[in-house]
Amino acid sequence: MAWLIRSKARLLVSATRPLRAPVDSFHCSRFSDLTDHSVFSFPRKWLRSKARRLNDVDDNQSGSSSSPHINRRTTVSQLEVSSNSRVRVDLFDELKQRFLSFKEHKYLEELEHFQTLKEAQSPKFMVIACADSRVCPSTILGFRPGEAFMIRNVANLVPPFENGPSETNAALEFAVKTLEVENILIIGHSCCGGIQTLMSMRDDGDSSFIKSWVTTGTVAKLRTEAAANHLSFDQQCRLCEKESINRSLLNLLTYSWIEDRVRKGLLFVHGGYYDFLNCTFEKWTLDFKGSSGEEGARLLVKDQELWC
């Protein structure tokens, strides 16, 4: 008798074995997909009961997650997208608050000034600065709206006239010919990535938009290397940051409509260097009588100051 019971038990186990894989894989959610007829004789009530128990376990495991709002099947990429979206919303919420603060504490308090700007702009300065996010001329020098016409580019470079049209000389033309600014100020700065790219470039045929642009400062690079070849790379870059400003000042004189106004004393061109590591600002003015933007250019400066 015992032998007969054990024999039937083994047959029962053998009959249920094909069920285990689909049960484990699909959590018994769909029994209609099973095609192994060896299980059809197994009691259907037991199958349905087993399916319910497995699904209950699955639901309990999902509910035991530390975050009740996140299904455990949610992918990592979905979580990252959700997180990035919240960050973008938070950033623009902050910008919104800054704008509203500007409106309340600047615009409305200086309404008469802003009403004047509706009619026209008459800035005294044309500023050429680097696009670096750490160097904002309006923040550093306190320009109010309407006081400075600005163009920002990589490494605050001014290409010579013969290089042809660019955004920089288009802005210069508008500022000098139309707005008739009285001062052009070129501002360089410490730790300039554009100058570092220029100083590390080699003639290996590799090119990019950035490298094509910073070649405007090649003369400054060559002069720096000739004068400071014994110094470290970082020290050479610092010297080139200032040398490139002076080369750009001379490049301004290659534009006849700038050179003419400078000669007549209607326009002055200045260099500035902002060291944001120590928060100092150097300022100097090109001495037109002793300078030349022609081939074999030479530069003399005056009115040098260090603001610290």
Determine the Cα–Cα distance for residues 178 and 153; give it in Å rounded to an integer: 21
Identify the pLDDT of residue 107: 96
Higher pLDDT, 22 or 56: 56
Does 191 belong to an annotated binding site?
Answer: no
Q: Dump pLDDT digits (tens) for 181-217.
A: 999 999 999 999 999 999 999 876 678 999 999 999 9
283 backbone dihedrals φ, ψ, rounded to 5° = -135, 140
Compute the radius of gyration of the chain from its Cα atoms: 36
Cβ proximity of 186 and 245 under 8 Å: yes
Q: Dump pLDDT digits (tens) for 211-259.
A: 999 999 999 999 999 999 999 999 999 999 999 999 999 999 999 999 9
Q: Which is nearest to 184 in space by CA: 133, 256, 252, 135?
A: 252
Does 24 belong to an annotated binding site?
Answer: no
For strands 148-153 and 268-275, give the pairing: unpaired
Helix axes 218-227, 193-200, angle to 10 degrees: 70
Does 192 belong to an annotated binding site?
Answer: yes
- Please state the domain extents for the chain: 124-290+297-307
- CATH class (in words) of the domain with range 124-290+297-307: alpha beta
Does 308 belong to an annotated binding site?
Answer: no
pLDDT above 90: residue 268: yes
Cβ proximity of 167 and 151 under 8 Å: yes
Q: Three-state SS for 151?
A: strand
Determine the Cα–Cα distance for residues 280 and 285; give it in Å rounded to an integer: 17
